[in-house]
């Protein structure tokens, strides 16, 4: 059983690594790179919200923080693009503390609403303080992290795989157990000696940090940022990807994000109806498959029994 799962993972990874040998289209490689970035966002969302059960409706806040930090340093100040990675991740992590500390102490929908509000307000601020953020057009003319599209593909794939595996390891560790107990029953977790506020905030910081890295990769892939990186549509798209993958499993959302990001591109002409597709997928999932699709399927194929790591 364990062997089959390991084989499955290796086959998938080998196929992804070999893809650039067969695909010469830079356009297609670019799309796949973006799919991996979505994978980073969905997995990092799932790490905090899926494991602890506190839904984050503004993951785009962290994505945008990473992307704009990178763009500002590279496009406005003139730093080398690689500086964006630590700076963007740190900025996202810092913002997660600002929102997380006041809201995660509380039960109720405050965290979800505050995240949604913060991301939306940040999007407005990029328009209002256009002297620094470039307004509607954002900040164009960024340097790519690597020159060739194939190299960017491997970079995005590499970061995606490393983050996903690292988060899976954390989720399977004692810390993951503590986070899952918070999802199970917050008061009972306290009675078992868990400092629930601390662990929720710590998980949010990790989640934000990874999302920020994804944001930096995205900004340099696009060689530009626009206020859309803060949009509600992006936050919700990510949650929908997690839902499709199977909330709380991490690998399901990782795969769900790659597939859902790819779907509108594969069905030509569907690109502009992307949000329609997602919304309909969401309604289908909510009504007919609340457990998601990918994680349950994967478990059946590989013979795994219960949740957690693959």
Partner 1 sequence: MLNILVYGAVTSAVYAMLAVGFTLIFGVARVLNLAHGAFYGLGAYAAYVLTARLGWPLLPAAIVAVLFVAAFGVAVERVLIRPLRNSALAVLMITIAVGLLFEQAMYLLFGSEARNVPAFSNATWSYAGLDVSGQRLLTLGFGAAVIGLLWLFINRTRLGAAILALSQDREGALYVGIPADRIYAVVMAISAAIAASAGVLTAPFLTVQPTMDLLPMIKAFSIVIVGGLGSIPGSILAALLLGYSETIVAYAISPAWTEIVSLVAVLLTLILRPAGLLGKRAAF
Partner 2 sequence: MTPLLEIQGLNKRFAGLVAVNDVSFSLAAGEIAGILGPNGAGKTTLFNLLTGFLASDSGSVRFDGRDLAGEPPHQIVNRGLARTFQLCRPFAGMSVLENVMVGCLAPRVRHRHAPRARARAILEAVGLAHRADAPVEVLPYGDLRRLEIARALATGPRLLLLDEPFAGLGATEIEPISALIRRLHASEGLTILLIEHRLREFMQLVSRVIAMDFGRVIASGTPADIVRHPRVIEAYIGRDDEVSETGEPPAGEPRGAA
Binder among 191, 287, 288, 300 for partner 2 (CB under 8 A): 191
Contact yes or no for 138/122 (Cβ under 8 A): no
Binding region for partner 1 (CB under 8 A) out of 8-16, 116-124, 135-143, 202-210 = 116-124
Which CB sits closer to partner 1, 27 or 129? 129
Contact yes or no for 120/230 (Cβ under 8 A): yes
As a whole number of angstroms, the distance between CA 220 and CA 81 comes to 8
Q: Is 271 in the site for partner 1 (CB under 8 A)?
A: no
Residue-wise DSSP of 67-133: HHHHHIIIIII---GGGHHHHHHHHHHHHHHHHHHHHTTS-STHHHHHHHHHHHHHHHHHHHTHHHH
Residue 49 CB, nearest distance to partner 1 (Å)?
A: 9
As a whole number of angstroms, the distance between CA 221 and CA 203 comes to 27
Q: Is 288 in the site for partner 1 (CB under 8 A)?
A: no
What are the tokens at 179? 């986070």
The residues in 221-250 that bind partner 2, with binding defined as CB under 8 A, are 248
Alpha helices (H) in the chain, listed in sequence order? 2-22, 26-45, 51-52, 60-71, 84-103, 110-128, 130-133, 149-172, 174-184, 186-191, 196-222, 232-245, 251-266, 274-288, 294-302
Q: Is 194 in the site for partner 2 (CB under 8 A)?
A: yes
Residue 99 touches which member of partner 1, partner 2, none, C-beta under 5-8 Å by kind: partner 1
As a whole number of angstroms, the distance between CA 270 and CA 247 comes to 26
Q: Is 108 in the site for partner 2 (CB under 8 A)?
A: no
Binder among 10, 14, 18, 106 for partner 1 (CB under 8 A): 106
Binder among 109, 158, 271, 303 for partner 1 (CB under 8 A): 109
Q: Is 184 in the site for partner 2 (CB under 8 A)?
A: yes
Residue indicated by tokens 């590279």:
74
Q: Is 45 in the site for partner 1 (CB under 8 A)?
A: no
Contact yes or no for 50/242 (Cβ under 8 A): yes
Q: Is 260 in the site for partner 1 (CB under 8 A)?
A: no
Q: Footprint of partner 1 on this chain (CB under 8 A)?
A: 55, 57, 98-99, 102-103, 105-110, 112-114, 116-118, 120-121, 124-125, 128-129, 232-233, 236, 239, 243, 273, 275-276, 278-279, 282-283, 286-287, 290
Q: Footprint of partner 2 on this chain (CB under 8 A)?
A: 174, 177-178, 180-181, 183-185, 187-196, 248, 306-307
């Amino acid at each position: 059983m364990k062997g089959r799962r390991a084989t499955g993972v290796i086959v998938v990874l080998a196929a992804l690594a070999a893809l650039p040998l067969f695909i010469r289209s830079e356009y297609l490689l670019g799309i796949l790179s973006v799919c991996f970035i979505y994978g980073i966002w969905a997995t990092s969302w799932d790490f905090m919200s899926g494991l602890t059960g506190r839904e984050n409706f503004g993951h785009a806040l962290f994505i945008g923080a990473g992307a704009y930090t990178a763009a500002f340093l590279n496009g406005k100040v003139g730093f080398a693009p690689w500086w964006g990675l630590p700076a963007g991740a740190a900025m996202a992590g810092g913002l997660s503390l600002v929102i997380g500390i006041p809201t995660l102490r509380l039960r109720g929908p405050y965290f979800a609403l505050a995240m949604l509000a913060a991301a939306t307000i940040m999007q407005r601020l990029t328009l209002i303080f256009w002297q620094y953020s470039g307004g509607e057009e954002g900040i164009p003319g960024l340097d790519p992290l690597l020159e060739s599209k194939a190299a960017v593909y491997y970079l995005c794939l590499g970061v995606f795989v490393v983050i996903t595996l690292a988060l899976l390891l954390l989720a399977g560790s004692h810390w993951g157990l503590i986070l899952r107990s918070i999802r199970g029953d917050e008061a009972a977790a306290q009675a078992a000696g868990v400092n629930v506020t601390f662990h929720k905030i710590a998980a949010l910081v990790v989640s934000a940090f990874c999302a920020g890295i994804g944001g930096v990769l995205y900004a340099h892939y696009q060689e530009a940022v626009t206020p859309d990186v803060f949009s509600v549509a992006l936050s919700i798209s990510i949650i929908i990807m997690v839902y499709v993958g199977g909330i709380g499993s991490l690998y399901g959302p990782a795969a769900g994000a790659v597939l859902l990001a790819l779907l509108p591109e594969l069905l030509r002409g569907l690109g502009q109806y992307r949000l329609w597709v997602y919304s309909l997928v969401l309604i289908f999932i909510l009504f007919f498959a609340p457990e998601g699709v990918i994680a349950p399927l994967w478990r059946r194929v590989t013979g795994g029994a219960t949740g957690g790591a693959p």
